[in-house]
Amino acid sequence: MAAEPVLPEPPAPSDPRALAPVAEALLFAAGRVLTLDELAAAAGVEPEAMTAALEQLAADLAPRGITLLALAGGWRLATRPQYAGPVRELLKPPAKRLSPARLETLAVVAYRQPVTRAEVEAVRGVDCSGTLRALIELELVELRGRRADKPGQPLTYGTSARFLEEFGLAELDDLPRLEELES
């Protein structure tokens, strides 16, 4: 009769050194931004314990080729910027550039959100319905609700968590100020 495999004990909730590899495994497996609450729930620990584990993980990763990033209200593993060139060469992602119209529309949404299509069109001076649809398909813009104070209660738009990820922002406050861009 074969013996049952002996499984290691789960890490003590108060031991960040033992919990850091669990956080690393969760972030690696997810391949996306995970919130503190998602990480803590998956590991079966309190958020405070996971915060300590994430601090330990960041320290453990310091000399390595990957880093722990705080993005879009959560955490994600990423390649260190100094290794982006070789990784880009290996992966050779297809060119997925935003057209000037899409980039301009995205900027209006980012700086004026929540914003209606009519408000975006007033700034750009052209019909933006197709461009907004494309930005929604790219998951850079999302519907935010309706503007109850306007006739017809038009839909409002705002940027998504993916927008923050793609542009390397932890939060919208990290966008450059318009005054900085003009100088």
**Domain segments of the chain: what residues?**
16-81, 100-178
Task: Tell me which architecture the domain covering 100-178 has in CATH.
Answer: Orthogonal Bundle (1.10)
Range scoring the smallest mean pLDDT among 84-93, 102-111, 153-162? 84-93
What is residue 166's predicted lDDT score, i.e. its pLDDT? 87
Contact 147, 139 (CB under 8 A): no
As a whole number, the mean pLDDT across the chain is 89
CATH architecture type of domain 16-81: Orthogonal Bundle (1.10)
- Matching fold, domains 16-81 and 100-178: yes
CA dihedral angle for residue 126, residue 129, residue 133, residue 135, rounded to 10 degrees:
30
Cα–Cα distance measured from residue 35 to residue 109, given in angstroms and rounded to the nearest whole number: 24
* pLDDT, position 178: 74
Q: Alpha-carbon distance 33 to 114, whole Å? A: 23
pLDDT value at residue 95: 57
pTM of the entire predicted model: 0.57
C-alpha to C-alpha distance for 172 and 76, rounded to whole angstroms: 17
Q: Is residue 155 classed as helix, strand or coil in its secondary structure?
A: strand
